[in-house]
């Protein structure tokens, strides 16, 4: 190997798995099921799959083609297309940097939960006892044990973004571990990444499959699955549904960061990216649907358990208040007894009326959650009710870790590859340069381990990448279609693959995808303006609940 | 004979009067036998009530250490189908009510024994107003999570060191090879005017990797 020759993937399978590992990430598990629930269950698949063909696949193919043709990272590739467009690549690198800063915190949380699963009783199963040993800690009693574990023991969260506390040592250690593992995976560039992706791309599917079998055999899982898949077709008339479908496809595939360009730049010149682009996009969407099936089975189980616990508490309340024999009121007859007692002893009933909870299965299922709340609170609550919860907890958090680390690989490569194209960085060895980037991100990322860290995380997550990615990809597709020219691009692809892209690709690149992106951009801006002062959810220590606070920005 | 009967009746009614639901010195007890034992649940009858009174007498005696409480000192009233009832405790010699706090301390001290007598637990045999003392949480000296963290961190750091060392060794080996190549190359440059030097025809086989 000559000094300075570009490294290659060992085989096309490594590249394919790297793309899958990058694209299939946490969003497939915690964002898609939420959207599915919000926008009419099974009916949401229609706009979702349509958008996949209208914008997902064409844009994915576009980025891969650019990377493979130019054989440079995003900055170099765009500069080669036109010297004025180097900024597009730079924007991608900066966005990837933002993402790298905050994304590894999620992996740190996954590590924290994973390590805490090696106990006989899961720490989020019960409330810890207060110092007097008279009962559970008050904050935990008012919330739920899973919420308490997440907000107090994992995050040690403050009440607002202005109140910065100390760095949570446990979190900092887990973040350090996350970065050390990331460094190990990218230490030799794609030579090491290529071997790691065999595991990070495939093992999550093993876990998802195991969870699917476990999930559908759980008590009450069928409630959740039925609830999710019952299509509510009237949601299709709502334009937000279509916008959300398009946005989800766009962000789920990881376009615009430059990761795809970076990965593809290590390909052999005539690697068949057309076929691979189709495969990866289909696998990504398929995984979302598969994961939401599992998620809803788990939802159904959790909702049924909560509903039955509610009924049990009501039953006890009735028994204790009216001193009835234990077997007179059963769980099934709770509602009849409420009616009976209300009519026969109205005064006595009034005394307990305010303690009576409203047990409703529908409303339990209706609590749609997304994001970290779903992954760390809802799922861990469901896991603690399963038999042998430690095993399921370990499996689940390993899956989250692999999904998160797989996406991190792509984002870190998106930073390192373009910078290494510059002679300044290439004088350093790969290992040293990668180490410096990881160290830099680790030090800045420590800010997310403070008490207000979760609020900063939310801010980065909601605003750090969304607008810039839309703009970057819009410029990318317009450049390739009109400035570089579709004809020249066609010839390049023919040169690489041996055949020209057919009319479907050309129409999407030149027409549909740019139009869709413009619509998304406009709707994002409108939403932003109409939203008024941005708000964020904060943990209110007095009320022990999550409420909305206006952002100080 | 009549006096004996009237004395018994009097003490009985006196006892009844001592025990009232809502009495400031009394406690309400609630048992959830079917919840705790399911199919093995026993029926609550007078025998069980006697056992309760005896157990409580035991608890009081244990607390006081000198005075011997009898079953008759534990007075029970207002039994319901739930299996809940009120009880008060009187001193053995003068039939005055024992203070609420004293009873609480006694019950707390022997709570485990009372529970085991009925095969129940703190949640299924409730003394309303006496919260159970919860077990001390077990706090190992090193938190378990730190141990797992240490193992994983150690493995990853070892992996990094191995990879770095291997690549360093490989780089040194390659540098030695290229040093030998450049020696041959300078010969080539010197001989450039004489002709073209093809490395593949070089007789110096040792610098070329044996296939």
Q: In this structure, is residue A2 part of a structural domain?
A: no
A326 at B interface, C-beta within 8 A: yes
pLDDT at B200: 43
pLDDT at A491: 92
Q: In this structure, is residue A206 part of a structural domain?
A: yes
Report how many Cβ contacts below 8 Å link chain A to chain B. Answer: 75
The answer to whether A28 is a known ligand-binding residue is yes
Report CA torsion sign: A463, A464, A466, A472: positive
Alpha carbons A409 and A402: distance in angstroms, whole number:
10
CA distance A502 to chain B (A): 45
Number of domains chain A contains: 1
Whichever domain contains A460, its CATH number is 1.10.4160
> DSSP letter string over A83-132?
GGGHHHHHHHHHHHHHHHHHHHHHHHHHHHHHHTTSSSS-TTTSPPB-TT
Judged by CB atoms closer than 8 Å, whether chains meet at A118 and B163 is answered as no
Please name the residue that has the structure tokens 């707390």: B108
Residue B122 has pLDDT above 50, yes or no: yes
Judged by CB atoms closer than 8 Å, whether chains meet at A326 and B32 is answered as yes
Alpha helices in A377-512 (DSSP H): 379-385, 389-421, 423-426, 430-445, 453-463, 466-478, 486-497, 503-507
Tokens of A243: 């916008």
B186 at A interface, C-beta within 8 A: no
B142 at A interface, C-beta within 8 A: no
**Counts of helices then strands in chain B (DSSP H, E):** 6, 4
pLDDT in tens, A460-497: 888 888 888 999 999 999 999 998 889 999 999 999 99
Q: Measuring CA to CA, which residue among A475, A375, A453, A487 is closest to residue A29?
A: A375
For the beta carbon of residue A279, count every other beta carbon within 10 angstroms.
13
Spatial contact of A67 and A265, defined as CB atoms under 8 Å apart: yes
Judged by CB atoms closer than 8 Å, whether chains meet at A431 and B167 is answered as yes
Q: Which residues of B touch A116 (CB under 8 A)?
A: 144-145
A325 at B interface, C-beta within 8 A: yes
Q: Measuring CA to CA, which residue among B152, B157, B150, B172 is closest to residue A187?
A: B157
Q: Which residues of B touch A324 (CB under 8 A)?
A: 81-82
Tokens of A515: 């139009």
pLDDT at B139: 73
Q: In this structure, is residue A368 part of a structural domain?
A: no
The answer to whether A452 is a known ligand-binding residue is no
Q: In this structure, is residue A36 part of a structural domain?
A: yes
Segment holding A334, helix H or strand E: helix A334-344
CA distance B180 to chain A (A): 15
The answer to whether A23 is a known ligand-binding residue is yes
Q: Give the range among A333-337, B6-10, B73-77 with minimum mean pLDDT.
A: B6-10
Spatial contact of B115 and B122, defined as CB atoms under 8 Å apart: yes
pTM of the predicted model as reported, rounded to 2 decimal places: 0.85
Alpha carbons B56 and A107: distance in angstroms, whole number:
55
Judged by CB atoms closer than 8 Å, whether chains meet at B156 and A181 is answered as yes
Judged by CB atoms closer than 8 Å, whether chains meet at B157 and A180 is answered as yes
The more confident residue out of B111 and B11 is B111
CA distance A52 to chain B (A): 38
- On the CB side of A544, CA atoms within 13 Å amount to 15
Judged by CB atoms closer than 8 Å, whether chains meet at B163 and A119 is answered as no
Burial grade of A272 (CB within 10 A; 0-12, 13-18, 19 or more): middle
pLDDT at A543: 64
In angstroms, the Cα distances linking A87 to A80, A124, A258, A471, A483 are 12, 47, 12, 12, 15
pLDDT at A550: 65
Confidence of residue B65 (pLDDT cuts 50, 70, 90): confident
pLDDT at B206: 45
Alpha carbons A332 and B34: distance in angstroms, whole number:
17
Q: In this structure, is residue A379 part of a structural domain?
A: no
Alpha carbons A516 and A247: distance in angstroms, whole number:
10
Judged by CB atoms closer than 8 Å, whether chains meet at B167 and A188 is answered as yes
Q: Which domain holds residue A182?
A: 12-294+389-549
Q: In this structure, is residue A502 part of a structural domain?
A: yes
Judged by CB atoms closer than 8 Å, whether chains meet at B144 and A111 is answered as no
The answer to whether A403 is a known ligand-binding residue is yes
Residue B22 has pLDDT above 50, yes or no: yes
Alpha carbons A424 and A476: distance in angstroms, whole number:
26
Low-confidence spans in chain A with pLDDT less than 70: 1-4, 423-426, 542-545, 547-553
Alpha carbons B192 and B121: distance in angstroms, whole number:
98
pLDDT at B199: 40
Spatial contact of A299 and A229, defined as CB atoms under 8 Å apart: no
A347 at B interface, C-beta within 8 A: no
- On the CB side of A197, CA atoms within 13 Å amount to 30
Q: In this structure, is residue A65 part of a structural domain?
A: yes
pLDDT at B205: 43
CA distance A412 to chain B (A): 17
Buried residues in B90-100 as b, exposed as e (16+ CB within 10 A): bebeeeebbeb
Judged by CB atoms closer than 8 Å, whether chains meet at B145 and A319 is answered as no
| Nearest chain B residue (CA) to A321 | B82
Q: In this structure, is residue A327 part of a structural domain?
A: no
């Amino acid at each position: 190997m000559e000094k300075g020759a570009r490294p290659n993937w060992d085989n096309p399978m490594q590249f394919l798995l790297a793309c899958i590992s990058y694209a299939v990430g946490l969003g497939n598990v915690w964002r898609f099921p939420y959207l599915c629930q919000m926008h009419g269950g099974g009916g949401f698949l229609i706009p979702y799959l349509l958008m996949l063909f209208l914008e997902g696949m064409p844009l994915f193919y576009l980025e891969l083609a650019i990377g493979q043709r130019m054989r440079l990272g995003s900055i170099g590739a765009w500069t080669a297309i036109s010297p004025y467009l180097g900024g597009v690549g730079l924007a991608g690198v900066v966005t990837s940097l933002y993402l790298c800063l905050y994304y590894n915190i999620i992996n740190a949380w996954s590590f924290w939960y994973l390590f805490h699963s090696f106990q006989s009783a899961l720490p989020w199963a019960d409330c810890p006892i207060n110092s007097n040993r008279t009962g559970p800690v008050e904050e935990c009693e008012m919330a739920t044990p899973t919420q308490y574990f997440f907000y107090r023991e994992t995050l040690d969260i403050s009440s607002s973004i202005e109140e910065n506390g100390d760095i949570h040592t446990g979190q900092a250690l887990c973040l350090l571990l996350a970065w050390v593992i990331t460094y190990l995976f990218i230490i030799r560039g794609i030579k090491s990444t290529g071997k790691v992706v065999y595991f990070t791309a495939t093992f999550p599917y093993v876990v998802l499959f195991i969870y699917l079998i476990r999930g559908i055999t759980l008590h009450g899982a069928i409630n959740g699955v039925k609830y999710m898949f019952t299509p509510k077709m009237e949601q299709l008339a709502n334009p937000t549904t279509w916008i959300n479908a398009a946005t989800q496809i766009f962000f789920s595939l990881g376009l615009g960061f430059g990761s795809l360009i970076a990965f593809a730049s290590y390909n052999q010149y005539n690697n068949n990216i057309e076929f691979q682009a189709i495969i990866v996009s289909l696998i990504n969407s398929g995984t979302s649907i598969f994961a939401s099936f599992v998620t809803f089975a788990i939802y159904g189980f959790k909702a049924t358990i909560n509903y039955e616990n509610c009924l049990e508490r009501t039953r006890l309340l009735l028994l204790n208040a009216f001193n009835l024999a234990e077997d007179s009121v059963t769980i099934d007859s709770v509602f009849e007894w409420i009616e009976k007692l209300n009519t026969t002893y109205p005064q006595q009933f009034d005394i307990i009326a305010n303690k009576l909870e409203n047990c409703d299965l529908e409303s339990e299922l209706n609590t749609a959650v997304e994001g970290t709340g779903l992954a760390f609170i809802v799922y861990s609550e469901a896991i603690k009710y399963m038999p042998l919860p430690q095993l399921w907890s370990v499996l689940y958090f390993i899956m989250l870790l692999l999904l998160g680390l797989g996406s991190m690989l792509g984002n870190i490569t998106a930073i390192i590859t373009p910078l290494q194209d510059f002679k300044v960085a290439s004088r350093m060895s790969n290992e040293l340069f990668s180490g410096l980037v990881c160290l830099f991100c680790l030090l800045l990322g420590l800010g997310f381990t403070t008490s207000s860290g979760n609020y900063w995380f939310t801010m980065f997550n909601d605003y750090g990448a969304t607008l810039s990615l839309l703009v970057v990809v819009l410029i990318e597709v317009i450049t390739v279609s009109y400035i570089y020219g579709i004809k020249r691009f066609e010839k390049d692809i023919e040169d690489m693959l041996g055949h020209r892209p057919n009319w479907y690709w050309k129409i999407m690149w030149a027409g549909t995808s740019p139009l869709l992106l413009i619509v998304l951009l406009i709707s994002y801006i409108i939403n932003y303006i109409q939203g008024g002062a941005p708000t964020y959810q904060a943990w209110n220590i007095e009320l022990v609940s999550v409420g909305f606070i206006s952002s100080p920005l | 004979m009549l006096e004996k009967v009237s004395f018994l009746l009097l003490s009985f009614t006196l006892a009844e009067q001592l025990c009232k639901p809502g009495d400031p010195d009394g406690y309400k007890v609630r048992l959830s036998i079917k919840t705790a034992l399911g199919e093995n649940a026993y029926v609550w009858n007078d025998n069980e009530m006697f056992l309760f009174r005896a157990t409580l007498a035991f608890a009081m005696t244990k607390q006081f250490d000198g005075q011997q409480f009898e079953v008759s000192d534990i007075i029970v009233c207002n039994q319901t189908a739930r299996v809940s009832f009120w009880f008060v405790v009187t001193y053995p010699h003068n039939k005055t009510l024992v203070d609420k706090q004293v009873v609480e301390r006694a019950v707390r001290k022997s709570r485990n024994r009372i529970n085991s007598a009925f095969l129940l637990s703190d949640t299924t045999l409730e003394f309303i107003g006496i919260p159970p003392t919860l077990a001390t949480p077990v706090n190992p000296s090193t938190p378990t999570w730190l141990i797992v963290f240490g193992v994983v961190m150690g493995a990853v750091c070892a992996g990094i060191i191995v990879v770095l060392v291997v690549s360093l060794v490989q780089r040194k080996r390659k540098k030695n090879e290229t040093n030998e190549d450049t020696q041959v190359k300078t010969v080539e440059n010197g001989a450039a005017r004489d002709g073209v030097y093809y490395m593949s025809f070089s007789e110096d086989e040792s610098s070329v990797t044996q296939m």
